[in-house]
Amino acid sequence: MNSDLLIHFTGLCALVLNVLALVRTCERSLRVQSGLAGLAWAFNNLLLGAHGAAALSLVSAGRTASSAVTLGAGARRRRLVFSCFAVLTVLVSAMTWHGWPSILLLAASLISTCAVFYLQGPRLRCAMLLVSGLWMYHAWSHASWEQMIANALTAFAALYGAWRTDRSESTGQST
């Protein structure tokens, strides 16, 4: 398989995982599937030569999976795990710094970290909408049409997921 085909394939896999995760109403499933998408994005970014984004995507995958595990944990444990991932995000960003665009990736990663540990339902999905917007510049700067499409579809999926989750909460359906 040539590298361009592998880049496209990993991008499409990550895209599908991302969109399917955000339209779910189950908070744990959203986090687990988003973690898997983070692994696929890490590989995609590595193939693109975007090492900083690949490292942040790996942190994101671990963070999102950890947030799924700690979803029912006490506030103290969640705060500790959140703090560790926030510090790790800042360290990885500093080590892979590539000028002002790195600020956008850092902001997106920190917003995601806060969101997956402290938000649920429509508020979590709206935060992911903001995160998609911040990652869009990265996708554009690397001419990655998979990531540009993914950010647009992820934004749409986040809006749809927020509406769907809000609707199920208002009708009393639990997941």
101 assigned to some structural domain: no
Number of domains in the chain: 1
Domain extent, residue 81, equals: 3-96+115-170
77 assigned to some structural domain: yes
Compute the C-alpha angle 69/163/18, nearest 5°. 50
Q: How large a percentage of the chain has pLDDT more than 70?
A: 97
What is the distance between the alpha carbons of residues 120 and 43, in angstroms, rounded to a whole number?
27
Distance of CA 75 to the CA centre of its chain: 22
105 assigned to some structural domain: no
Q: What is the pLDDT of residues 41-98, one digit of tens each?
A: 899 989 988 888 898 889 989 998 899 889 888 999 999 999 999 999 999 989 988 8
